[in-house]
Amino acid sequence: MSQSLAATGTAAGRMAELSLSGDLHRPVRLTVPDLLTWPRHEAQVAFECATSGVQHHRFTGPLLHDVLMDAGPAFDPARRKDRLRFLIAVRGTDGHHALLSWAEIDPDFGRAPVLLAVTLDGTPLDHAGSQLVLPQDRCGARYISGIETIRVDGGYTAWT
């Protein structure tokens, strides 16, 4: 099913919801209007798609970092090194998914201003679901739309 059909199906019933799960002290389900609880940022972005070329869009929404911090990631906030093993997995309703490292969005490390969009070019995403916005990405593939799940995983144990 295409993303637009999935979104229409959701619109016919209830609003889209995304779940924050994994290594969090306060896992939660959030609608797009719930995301307005956090300070809203704006990003004018350009990204390239392998099939449709360069796209320009304006997104608004909270910082992914602000939303995830309130869900209580299971690291010691005072110890910067403890955060370096955490990954963030983001998946859309169509199964498209991608990983970010925690350090990529952490203000002490990569400081990428990644957003969870509530609007796309002025249109609310209440029914389509939030979209991941990564102004630092040249390619559009991680701009995951219709976000269903964000899973925080601190169990990266390749060397143990």
Contact window for ligand MTE (CB under 6 A) among 15-23, 62-70, 99-107, 139-147: 139-147
Task: Tell me whether residue 61 or residue 140 sits nearer to ligand MTE (CB atom).
Answer: 140
Is residue 141 a contact point for ligand MTE (CB under 6 A)? yes
Nearest to 59 by CA among 4, 135, 148, 150: 135
Cα 26 to Cα 40, 69, 96, 99, 156, distances in angstroms: 22, 10, 25, 21, 20
Minimal distance, residue 139 CB to Mo ion, in Å: 7
Report d(CA 62, CA 147) in Å as an integer.
Answer: 14
β partners of residue 55? 47
Nearest to 64 by CA among 24, 108, 104: 104
Residue of 27, 96, 101, 103 that binds ligand MTE (CB under 6 A): 96
Task: Tell me whether residue 44 or residue 52 sits nearer to Mo ion (CB atom).
Answer: 52
Is residue 3 a contact point for ligand MTE (CB under 6 A)? yes
Nearest to 145 by CA among 124, 131, 128: 131
Is residue 46 a contact point for Mo ion (CB under 5 A)? no
Task: Tell me whether residue 37 or residue 55 sits nearer to Mo ion (CB atom).
Answer: 55
Encoded tokens for 107: 């203000």
Chain residues binding ligand MTE by CB under 6 A are 3, 49, 52, 92, 94, 96, 140-141, 143-146
Chain residues binding Mo ion by CB under 5 A are 49, 140
